[in-house]
């Protein structure tokens, strides 16, 4: 039985990780992260739950990365801490992975293996071919996985474009040839399935960027994703044509450009680049800054420029700021705040709602249809997207002729299995009365029925043919589930922030904190000090001063009610005090602050 198990990426944007398993061999496709949602207060990043991989670590033989985006490689360091296996990736992806491993001091132990589009590798029972696909970063690949039960295609993130850069074109001819050979299942990117038509061309973006830069008399500041190498090269070319110097600002931009230049994906003369510290030595019309911060990150270079806290570059009147990226879901408010701050400082701001300065790296509906038509899979599994994206993509596949029973709508943790020779829903009966009689073939599967020549009286031969046909059938279905979920990374803590901690943080953020402190005489039970109430985020103002007096009375009544010498008297006081104060504050002002009692016996 072949098993495909998504541990992340099916039901959310990001967190992409998929397990492919056959007998004693497992390999992992991608190890991505996602950024925290609004309710995950204080959380830095989110990674997939890797419990299933820990339980089956002896079976895991390799990790394969499709491209260099954080939602596909961001959890690699955490995965390699758990399981030490070879990592296969293309040159640019591998270079960024090396940078990550160095930060976590894992680079000496990791076995990194570079592959190229068109190349194939063998991992246990699997033969895996890497197919070039176009995306919003370079060196992206899809996977054609030859398994013991059939060919599986995993598209990775892709779009089908017409680009003059050969290294950035999806190899549709290879997908077509694989479709002719026969594809058991297609796992296809669903991120942009709600958008009709085709993805706009990168050339159109280049023209829009060139127009904005040529019309600007002051400094031009372009914020984008550091991994968008093709876009960075476009901007460099525009800077050369408009006789501007280029500044790379932001650690991720600087690291990525160095890696891409060494690999030949970015080219420019050394004289073009100036250090950010020297930016004020040039005329505003001579400067173009490529920076991070397109998602409104509070500590990013662009955010510091917009708030006046950047050491070298502060936004001023006459500057043109271009946000050349798509907003990640959940970042809309932060991006809006950045834009407002930029306008307040007198900048001209250009973003995708004003001009076509960004194009998606994900296929729209017509491209997704083309991928299905080229590969002609028996089974279809939508991947990469929220549940609504998966459902929409599934319906799209049905419209293209894939039977509904062959469209598998899976979510994180589901086990999608493909098994040969066991068609549970397609019963085969062969009735042989006497030698020479015709074989009666009763089957719900018309394909099998059509393959039987009923004029042939060689019954035994026909039975053998039927058995052979049945053995060639591969049935795909969701056959169970495994543990999956999200692990929250908070500082150096991995998974130590759970629902209860998030609930406490939410309560603190909404209702504040009240600390009650007092000292009690152990022998007499008399309160020697306090009760004193200190609040944070729950203000006892002059107009509500009575609250403190009344709350103290509530506390003293509880102390008097519990007899001196009672077992665990302090614990009883603490427990009843928390409950009583919560009820009191809710009754008086409809708020439920977190109550922290500090009671000392002397």
User: Which residue among the candidates 30, 189, 319, 490 is catalytic per the annotation?
Assistant: 189
User: Do residues 468 and 407 make contact, with C-beta atoms less than 8 angstroms apart?
Assistant: no
The total of other beta-carbon atoms located within 10 Å of residue 587's CB is: 8
The total of other beta-carbon atoms located within 10 Å of residue 279's CB is: 18
The total of other beta-carbon atoms located within 10 Å of residue 562's CB is: 15
Q: Which two tokens stand for residue 505?
A: 């943080």
User: Do residues 9 and 302 make contact, with C-beta atoms less than 8 angstroms apart?
Assistant: no
Q: What is the DSSP letter of 143?
A: E
Rounded Cα gap, residues 265 and 230, in angstroms: 8
**Mutual orientation of helices 365-375 and 172-181 as an angle, nearest 10°?**
40
User: Which residue among the candidates 69, 125, 362, 384 is catalytic per the annotation?
Assistant: 362
Rounded Cα gap, residues 450 and 444, in angstroms: 11
Q: What is the DSSP letter of 37?
A: P
The total of other beta-carbon atoms located within 10 Å of residue 455's CB is: 6
**Strand pairing category for 486-490 and 45-48:** antiparallel
Instruction: Give the C-alpha distances (Å, rounded to integers) separating 355 from 127, 208, 224.
Output: 45, 7, 15
User: Do residues 205 and 358 make contact, with C-beta atoms less than 8 angstroms apart?
Assistant: yes
The total of other beta-carbon atoms located within 10 Å of residue 65's CB is: 28
Q: Is 154 a catalytic residue?
A: no
User: Do residues 439 and 465 make contact, with C-beta atoms less than 8 angstroms apart?
Assistant: no
Sheet containing strand 45-48, strands side by side: 45-48, 486-490, 493-494
Of the candidates 366, 397, 374, the residue with the CA atom closest to the CA atom of residue 195? 366
Q: Which two tokens stand for residue 200?
A: 């706009």
| For residue 531, cis peptide bond before it (omega within 30 degrees of 0) | yes
Rounded Cα gap, residues 134 and 202, in angstroms: 11
Q: Is 422 a catalytic residue?
A: no
Q: Which residues are catalytic?
A: 189, 362
């Amino acid at each position: 039985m072949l098993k495909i198990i998504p541990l992340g990426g099916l039901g959310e944007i990001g967190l992409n990780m998929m397990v492919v398993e056959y007998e004693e061999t497992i390999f992992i496709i991608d190890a991505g992260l996602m950024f925290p949602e609004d309710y995950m207060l204080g959380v830095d990043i989110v990674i997939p739950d890797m419990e299933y991989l820990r339980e089956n670590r002896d079976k895991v033989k390799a990790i394969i990365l499709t491209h260099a985006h954080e939602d596909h490689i961001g959890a690699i360091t955490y995965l390699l801490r758990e399981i030490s296996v070879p990592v296969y990736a293309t040159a640019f992806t591998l270079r960024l992975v090396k940078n990550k491993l160095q930060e976590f001091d894992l680079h000496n132990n990791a076995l990194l293996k570079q592959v190229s589009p068109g190349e194939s590798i063998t991992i246990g029972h699997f033969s895996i071919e890497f197919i070039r696909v176009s995306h919003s970063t370079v060196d992206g690949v899809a996977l054609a996985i030859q398994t013991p039960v059939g060919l599986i295609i995993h598209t990775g993130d892709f779009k089908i474009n017409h680009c003059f850069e050969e290294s950035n074109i999806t190899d549709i001819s290879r997908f077509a040839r694989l479709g002719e050979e026969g594809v058991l299942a297609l796992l296809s990117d669903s991120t942009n399935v709600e958008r009709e038509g085709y993805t706009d061309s990168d050339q159109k973006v280049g023209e829009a960027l060139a127009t904005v830069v040529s019309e600007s008399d002051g400094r031009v500041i372009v914020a984008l994703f550091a991994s968008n190498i093709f876009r960075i090269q476009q901007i460099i070319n525009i800077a050369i044509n408009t006789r501007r110097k280029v500044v790379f600002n932001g650690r991720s931009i600087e690291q990525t450009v160095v890696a891409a230049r060494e690999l030949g994906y970015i080219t420019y003369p050394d004289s073009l680049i100036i250090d950010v510290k020297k930016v004020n030595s040039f005329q505003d019309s001579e400067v173009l800054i490529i920076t991070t911060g397109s998602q409104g990150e509070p500590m990013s270079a662009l955010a510091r420029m917009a708030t006046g806290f950047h050491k070298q570059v502060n936004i001023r009147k006459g500057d043109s700021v271009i946000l050349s990226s798509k907003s990640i879901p959940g970042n809309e408010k932060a991006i809006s705040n950045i834009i407002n701050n930029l306008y307040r400082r007198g900048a001209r701001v250009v973003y995708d709602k004003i001009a076509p300065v960004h194009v998606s790296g994900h296929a729209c509906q017509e491209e997704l249809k083309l991928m299905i038509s080229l590969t002609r899979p028996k089974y279809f599994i939508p991947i990469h997207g929220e549940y609504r994206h998966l459902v929409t993509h599934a319906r799209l596949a049905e419209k293209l002729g894939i039977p509904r029973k062959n469209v598998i709508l899976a979510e994180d943790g589901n086990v999608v299995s493909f098994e040969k020779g066991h068609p549970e829903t397609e019963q085969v009966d062969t009735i042989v009365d006497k030698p020479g009689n015709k074989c009666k073939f009763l089957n719900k599967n018309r394909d099998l029925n059509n393959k039987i020549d009923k004029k042939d009286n060689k019954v035994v031969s026909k039975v053998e043919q039927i058995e052979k046909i049945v053995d060639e059938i591969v049935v795909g279905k969701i056959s169970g589930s495994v543990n999956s979920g999200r692990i929250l990374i908070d500082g150096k803590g991995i998974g130590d922030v759970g629902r209860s901690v998030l609930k406490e943080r939410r309560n603190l953020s909404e209702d504040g904190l009240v600390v009650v402190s007092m000292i009690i005489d152990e022998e007499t039970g008399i309160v020697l000090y306090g009760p004193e109430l200190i609040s944070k985020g729950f203000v006892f103002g002059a107009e509500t001063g009575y609250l403190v007096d009344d709350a103290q009375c509530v506390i003293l009544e509880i102390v008097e009610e519990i007899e001196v010498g009672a077992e665990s008297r302090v614990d009883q006081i603490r427990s009843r005090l928390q409950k009583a104060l919560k009820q009191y504050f809710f009754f008086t002002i409809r708020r439920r602050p977190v109550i922290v009692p500090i009671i000392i016996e002397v």
